[in-house]
Structure 1
Amino acid sequence: MTSPTPPRHGRPLRRLPAALAGATAGALVLGLAALPARAESGTGAPLGTVARTAGGGHFEPGPCPRTADPIPDLARAHCGTLTVPEKRSRRHGRKITLAVAIIPAVAKRPASDPIVWLAGGPGDDAVSEIPMAVAGGLNRDRDVIFMSQRGTYSADPELTCRNVDEFVANSLDLVFGAPSTGRLHVQETRRCRDQLVSRGADLSAYNGTESSADYDDLRKALGIKQWNVFGISYGTDLALQYMRLHPKGIRSVGIDGVLPPALAGGAVTWKAAREGFDSIFKTCAEQPACNTRYPNLKDTFERLVVELEARPITTTVTVPGRPEPVKVTLDGGLLVNWLTFASHLAAGVPRSIDELAHGNPQRIAEQYAGGKLSPQAIGRVSHGLVFGIFCSEWTPFESEADVIRAGRRAFPSFPRSVLANAPLLSWMHADCRAWDIPAAPRSIRKVTRSDIPTLVLSGGFDSQTAPSSGPYAARTLSRSVAVTVPYVAHVVFADSKCAQTMTVSFFDRPDAPDTRCLAGLQPPTFEIAP
């Protein structure tokens, strides 16, 4: 789902503190890409040969892509680039290149059908997510292929905009939901757009339809008859589009942290917040120690949102790596966005809310500021892809009034100023008016109907894409297994050994994944203040 001054979907992608560290303009799951440094090419012989596809794709082996942070696994990867048309309706127009890294299977005799990884965001770089995939054992029996989506950090061109990220980082003392803050954010969005257009980018070409065709081209260019797909967060939206548009050659699909294209936008984000927050509050209430120490947690949180929106407070915190103290202003909208990401650290949520209720905002302010000021939050997310998707596939099919109505259904007590900005998607409609690209065809919102075996994973604490979105997507996938992993937040593969076991077993046996581990899962033990 990796933030307009207000945080947007970030990090997706990923876990806290990485999730908080990556809440940038529009990322559902934050990107992990950043400073321009190129990795050395893998030690193994590059996979494949120069190959072209009927769709215009051209793969060529070569050095491994640049990465923001060191990724040791690239030392054994096979790498190269896929060159594709920027816009397929103009076959002889500008070309762009997408970085490809293939992590070999651990097994000596790997299966012949690899897995291709679809990154979160929108706007995250797939190559940066290699450590997550490897840590989860995804490459146990199969090679795993990572390709940078168009416009992302290791692609050429990369459509990142540091000015937007830096505005978010430097505006912590502003009132999060104030119209003046929104106007400043939109100003930076327009500046970003102008920069990218001046560099020759056709902003209407950065979307899920073109990305789906990129993956179809990659499979063909690598000479792979059949492969498996695994998408996280925004990557589930893309995976469902890819299944609908280019089903040939897909053996099975795993989707984790599900964002169905038919629902994508602010309304479902309010629904996600309601479901994820309530699951945390309910789990606390079911533990005697937590319920005794932090009674009526749900009511306390919602009261604080209303109170802070009416009377924001400013505090000063110390952030690691920053020599000077940082001022943070907390209003109701910021508190909602904080909890959306803090669900990844659910064990500490009740204590943080209780401290705020008793006049101490430090824990919340430190977490929030630490995320926004982290190096992982600057210069890594592709704003060209973020807004390309938001502004062509989401906002044209959902009005600002729709978002407010959905917010009011989920949180009737919240004031309109909070409801106007869905969690992680603040100022999205205003930004899209500045981005000024055409709407996608209405077919982009179609549900995916398929008999491809699909594992549909959701987290019980997922406040970014909603636990209920998994079963919704599974309704029209006739050979799907839908699983909600309790007590885990957005993208369960990253945090849950059980989810990792199920996922790996699914790709071995798509019709019979091993779900036995679900029976032994236990809730977190919540922190109790002395």
Structure 2
Amino acid sequence: MNSRKTRLVLAIVAAVAVFGYKTLHHTPDTDSGKTIASKQSTAPVAPIKPTLLGTLAFTPCSLSSPFSKDALEAQCTRLEVPEDRGQPNGRKIALNIAWVPASENGSATPDPVFFIAGGPGQSAVDSYPGLDPVFKEVRKHRNVILVDQRGTGKSNVLSCAADDDDGSTGTPTPEVMQAKALACVDTLSKQADLRHYTTTDAITDLDAVRQAIGAKQINLVGVSYGTRVAQQYAMRYPAATRSIVLDSVVPNTLGLGNIFARNLDDALALQFGVCSKNPACKTALGDPRAELDTLLAKLRAAPPTVSYRDASSGEWKQDVLHADSVAGMVRMYAYMPLASSLLPKLIHEANGGHYEGLLALIKMMSGEMKDAMAMGMQLSVVCSEDAASMVAREEDSHTLLGNTMSEGMAAMCKIWPKGTPPTDFHKALATQVPALVLEGEFDPVTPPRYGSEVVKTLPNSRLFVLKGQGHNVIGAGCMPKLFAQFIEQADGKHLDASCLDTLAYAQPFTSFNGAAP
């Protein structure tokens, strides 16, 4: 992945990464003639008689993901739905669906769990295998249903190819980003009406799947952007919603255009504060935020060419280390405080002229996250639902991310085809449906105050803020056990959460041997 492409992706995708990180990618779908993500993994195991769930006929398949070493046996199928429900005889989308059956045969309850991935732009089918251990107890008696949201995975994925390196440096201007988006529109409009790939379209698809499998009610588990989908579904289909789990919640009321810079700086203050409060770490590494600012100033003035060892091949390579790449890497590692505990040491080493560790991590991250997000679908969602909030703010100008992202996203959304959300789209979800709301104390994207806002209008809800955790916390500590109890009982208020008290802060590395004793 070249430096120009790295900078473009960091500048664009980080702006919406409730919302994640990827290189733009475009691959033909050899199965359907559509376009799919290249790492979809639902190949049939054997040509045997399909298994019916409701009216849908499923065949065996294996699910895998870059973050899970083992394949997960499942059942897969497709369901055709209109792209534009106002034109039911027009173009159809084949929704990619996977069914992970209850592990105790014959014991499945009638209310399955629907897992909804984040992004927007992630594939639920590809994202789930790494989370399956979290669902172990839930899956004993409940089926898990995975639906690739339209525009992701194998549901007519909307991704665009990035241009090769043009030799320029620095962060792309809003004009460059707009030109890239316009080229993306030209490409994707051949296969899709980009106005019809919004959250509102997606929840109608989810309910079509619910009806097709014959489920009267479902339990929704949403992570990050998936919490917006879950809230919108519960708002539009309350009778069909048995319970909702909102992990790293995005409030319905929130416009996502310029939340990222301030939220990241606040989270870094907390995460780096663990080092500042540790005498050994502070003595060895100084003030991590001041060190980061010093490093970024150096890199902006004179980005160095660095030799580093490639994590996948073990080969020594060279590339230029840019400030924008470091800022993007810091942001992504801030999602995971355990991983970010290495950052103060790496930043301190880089200020001493040792850049190789930092660049190796950046390259490893870019490789792991490649193809994880469908950028075209992401733009269809955020430009339709959040464009009005994409404005620069003076108070963000001196943050790590600044206003570059909100300005770039605003430029792209000016030319992106937009759907029209319902007039009450940004109304707070107010329902009696039982809800479990999870937040990480150090979340750089959806901080705990978002959870506090959401539960105000959910009388049957329970909020857990997990100490020292970042983004996507359902798998932390004893949370899987509490999650399973909530799904079983549909009651969060009586959960005994004392086991969460054992969660501890990740101590920063003061050397490459680990944290100080």
Q: Which bracket does the TM-score occupy, shorter chain normalised?
A: 0.7 to 0.9
Whole-Å separation in 1 of the counterparts to 2:150 and 2:233: 15
Q: What's the counterpart of residue 493 of structure 1?
A: 474
Residue 367 (structure 1) aligned to one of 350, 358, 361: 361
Whole-Å separation in 2 of the counterparts to 1:10 and 1:62: 39
Whole-Å separation in 1 of the counterparts to 2:257 and 2:169: 21
Q: Is 1:517 aligned with 2:480?
A: no
Change in 2 beyond 3 A, CA 1:12/1:455: farther
Q: What's the counterpart of residue 91 of structure 1?
A: 88
Q: What's the counterpart of residue 407 of structure 1?
A: 396
Deviations along 1:324-364, whole A, 9 cap, x unmatched? 72413322x43332111112212212112212232333222
Unaligned runs of 5+ in 1: 27-31, 51-58
Per-residue deviation, 1:294: 2.4
Equivalent pair of 2:117/2:127 in contact (CA under 8 Å): yes
CA-atom RMSD in angstroms: 3.2
Amino acid corresponding to residue 404 of structure 2 in structure 1: N
Equivalent pair of 1:458/1:484 in contact (CA under 8 Å): yes
Change in 2 beyond 3 A, CA 1:33/1:285: farther
Per-residue deviation, 1:124: 0.7
Q: Is 1:177 aligned with 2:175?
A: no
Per-residue deviation, 1:393: 0.8
SS in 2 for 1:384: helix
Residue 420 (structure 1) aligned to one of 403, 412, 418: 403
Matches within 5 A, 1:225-374: 225-306=216-297, 308-309=299-300, 311-321=302-312, 325-331=317-323, 333-343=324-334, 344=336, 345-374=339-368
Equivalent pair of 2:49/2:59 in contact (CA under 8 Å): no
Residue 81 (structure 1) aligned to one of 78, 90, 96: 78
SS in 2 for 1:363: helix
Change in 2 beyond 3 A, CA 1:300/1:407: same
Change in 2 beyond 3 A, CA 1:426/1:341: farther
Q: What's the counterpart of residue 44 of structure 2?
A: 40
Per-residue deviation, 1:98: 0.6
Equivalent pair of 2:123/2:149 in contact (CA under 8 Å): yes
Residue 186 (structure 2) aligned to one of 182, 187, 194: 194
Equivalent pair of 1:262/1:446 in contact (CA under 8 Å): yes
Deviates more, 1:317-326 or 1:296-305: 317-326
Change in 2 beyond 3 A, CA 1:309/1:13: same
Per-residue deviation, 1:281: 1.4
Whole-Å separation in 1 of the counterparts to 2:418 and 2:201: 15
Equivalent pair of 1:319/1:325 in contact (CA under 8 Å): yes
Change in 2 beyond 3 A, CA 1:72/1:292: closer
SS in 2 for 1:6: helix
Residue 130 (structure 2) aligned to one of 129, 132, 140: 132
Q: What's the counterpart of residue 158 of structure 1?
A: 157
Whole-Å separation in 2 of the counterparts to 1:502 and 1:44: 38
Change in 2 beyond 3 A, CA 1:280/1:71: closer
Change in 2 beyond 3 A, CA 1:132/1:65: closer
Whole-Å separation in 1 of the counterparts to 2:423 and 2:394: 22
Amino acid corresponding to residue 332 of structure 2 in structure 1: F
Equivalent pair of 1:447/1:476 in contact (CA under 8 Å): yes
**Given the two structures, how large is their TM-score scaled by the length of structure 1?**
0.82
Per-residue deviation, 1:507: 0.9
SS in 2 for 1:419: coil
Amino acid corresponding to residue 159 of structure 2 in structure 1: T
Equivalent pair of 2:80/2:95 in contact (CA under 8 Å): yes
Amino acid corresponding to residue 142 of structure 2 in structure 1: R
Amino acid corresponding to residue 441 of structure 2 in structure 1: G
Equivalent pair of 1:33/1:67 in contact (CA under 8 Å): no
Change in 2 beyond 3 A, CA 1:356/1:469: farther
Q: What's the counterpart of residue 144 of structure 1?
A: 144
Q: What's the counterpart of residue 504 of structure 1?
A: 484
Deviations along 1:66-90, whole A, 9 cap, x unmatched? 8776986553x23222221111122
SS in 2 for 1:146: strand
Equivalent pair of 1:317/1:365 in contact (CA under 8 Å): yes
Amino acid corresponding to residue 117 of structure 2 in structure 1: A
**Given the two structures, how large is their TM-score scaled by the length of structure 2?**
0.84
Change in 2 beyond 3 A, CA 1:526/1:285: same
Equivalent pair of 1:351/1:528 in contact (CA under 8 Å): yes
Q: What's the counterpart of residue 6 of structure 1?
A: 10
Per-residue deviation, 1:41: 4.7
Equivalent pair of 1:47/1:78 in contact (CA under 8 Å): no
Change in 2 beyond 3 A, CA 1:277/1:146: same
Change in 2 beyond 3 A, CA 1:406/1:202: farther
Per-residue deviation, 1:134: 1.1
Whole-Å separation in 1 of the counterparts to 2:345 and 2:329: 14
Amino acid corresponding to residue 377 of structure 1 in structure 2: K
Unaligned runs of 5+ in 2: 1-6, 26-35, 513-517
Equivalent pair of 1:119/1:231 in contact (CA under 8 Å): yes
Amino acid corresponding to residue 93 of structure 1 in structure 2: G
Whole-Å separation in 2 of the counterparts to 1:486 and 1:478: 24
Amino acid corresponding to residue 434 of structure 1 in structure 2: I
Q: What's the counterpart of residue 117 of structure 2?
A: 119
Equivalent pair of 2:198/2:380 in contact (CA under 8 Å): yes
Deviates more, 1:307-316 or 1:383-392: 307-316
Change in 2 beyond 3 A, CA 1:394/1:312: farther
